[in-house]
Structures are given as C-alpha cells and as structure tokens.
C-alpha cells in the first residue's frame, strides 16, 4: 500500500468518523445547527478546540490556494469544502492525497 492510499484512507476515516457524531448530535437536537454551534462554545476547553481547528482550517485553505496557483492541480481545491463542511480531519489528508498524485 502506497502512502497515497494511506492519505485517501485517512480522508475517508476523517469524513465518516466525525460525521457520525455530528449527525447523532443533530438528530438528538431536532437538526438545529445552531444548537451544535452553541455547544462548540459551552466551556473554555471546547472554545479552545474550536479556535484551534478554525485556525488550522484557515491555514490549510491558504496553503491549498497557494499551491494550486503554482502547481495548477485544480482538483485539489475540493479539499477546501471538505475542510469546512466536514473538518480538517478530512480536508488535510484529502489534500495530501491530491497533492501526492504523480506528476
């Protein structure tokens, strides 16, 4: 198994595993996204984690944009919505998967 396959496996795991918890939480709270967002700021620990992941997501997005401008690997832009709709746990390995494509 190549490292490229590892990136793809991690991207899939990073999509499925967190989404299970998101969907479980939302189904228990009448699919109210605002209740979930409020839960991200319930205490200092979750607020810190929320900001940590937000800063990581913004950094990853800037890195993707800078590299796509140079490498012209436009398909790698799909990692940006994956990052913000699912999470960094999906977006980062997905970007590494696209980036590791042989030139």
Any idea where the domains of the chain sit in the sequence?
3-99
Q: What is the mean pLDDT of residues 27-39?
A: 95
pLDDT averaged over the chain? Answer: 95
Instruction: Write down the pTM of the prediction.
Output: 0.88
pLDDT of residue 102: 80
HEC profile of 24-93: HHHHHCCCCHHHHHHHCCCCHHHHHHHHHHHHHHHHHHHHHHHHHHHHCCHHHHHHHHHHHHCCHHHHHH
pLDDT of residue 1: 74
């Amino acid at each position: 198994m190549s490292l490229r396959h590892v990136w793809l496996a991690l991207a899939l795991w990073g999509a499925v595993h967190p989404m299970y918890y998101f969907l479980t939480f939302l189904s228990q709270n009448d699919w109210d996204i605002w209740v979930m967002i409020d839960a991200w700021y319930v205490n200092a620990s979750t607020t810190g984690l929320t900001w940590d992941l937000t800063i990581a997501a913004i950094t990853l997005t800037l890195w993707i944009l800078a590299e796509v401008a140079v490498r012209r690997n436009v398909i790698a832009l799909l990692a940006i919505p994956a990052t913000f709709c699912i999470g960094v746990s999906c977006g980062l390995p997905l970007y590494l998967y696209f980036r590791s494509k042989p030139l």
